[in-house]
Amino acid sequence: MIKELVSGIGAAFLFLLLLFQGAFWWLSLLLGAAAYVGIRLLFPPEHRKVLATLPDGVSQEAFNEYFAQCKLALSLVREDAEAVTNLSFKKTVLHLCGLGDELLVNFTKDPQDMQMAQALPDRLQRLHEILVGYIDLAYQKTQSPQSVRALEATEKAVTKAVEKFEQLHHRLLENDAIDLSTSAKTFDNLLDFD
């Protein structure tokens, strides 16, 4: 009986030893992966970011304020768009918001471009105010002919604003294209000297 007990304990010990040997391997693999993830989170790889220069006479605080005003006004216009019941007009307003978002992305890459759009926060704020009036008038149960004309005039004005935003966006892209072409030509000239 003691022999059976000793052989049973030996078999159990051998089984546990084999089981834990495999578990230690998995545990060490898991700990290694966790250590790698932890190190990457604590010390992320350095991304080489091109430092954009601000326009002359514009402080970082002034640029941040300009950017914040644009973002706030765009968020208000986007909220207004959700309240518009005319689907084609809603689509127009949301397209304008998308253009505004693209402009903001461009400003973060090239703050110099904000000089071409100094009035953007004011224009977006005015657009928000116009849309609030449009929504209030559109939700009236009865519409007078003057109300209908005012709604149509507002829709035309916003459509014109979309065209102006597209023109501004294209001008900024043209500036970027000119800058890129100049850099490419300079690089090409440098290669000729090597």
Residue 28: what pLDDT? 62
Among 63-67, 114-118, 133-137, 157-161, the range scoring the smallest mean pLDDT is 114-118
The arithmetic mean of pLDDT across residues 130-140, rounded, is 92
Instruction: Give the number of residues written for the chain.
Output: 194
50-109 pLDDT, tens digit each: 456 776 777 888 888 888 998 999 999 999 999 999 999 999 999 999 999 988 888 888
Rounded to an integer, the average pLDDT of 149-164 is 92
Query: pLDDT above 70 covers what percent of the chain?
Result: 74
| Tokens, residue 68 | 């914040």
**pLDDT score recorded for residue 39:** 74
The residue-averaged pLDDT of 140-146 equals 88
- Rounded to whole angstroms, how far apart are CA atoms 126 and 98? 17
Helices (H), 84-144: 87-109, 120-138
DSSP 8-state code for residue 110: -
Q: Is 84 in contact with 134 (CB distance < 8 Å)? A: yes
Look-up: residue for tokens 């689509």?
91
Q: pTM above 0.75?
A: no
Q: How far apart, in whole angstroms, are the C-alpha atoms of residue 33 and residue 189?
A: 47
| CB proximity list for 89: less than 8 A, separation 6 or greater | 155, 158
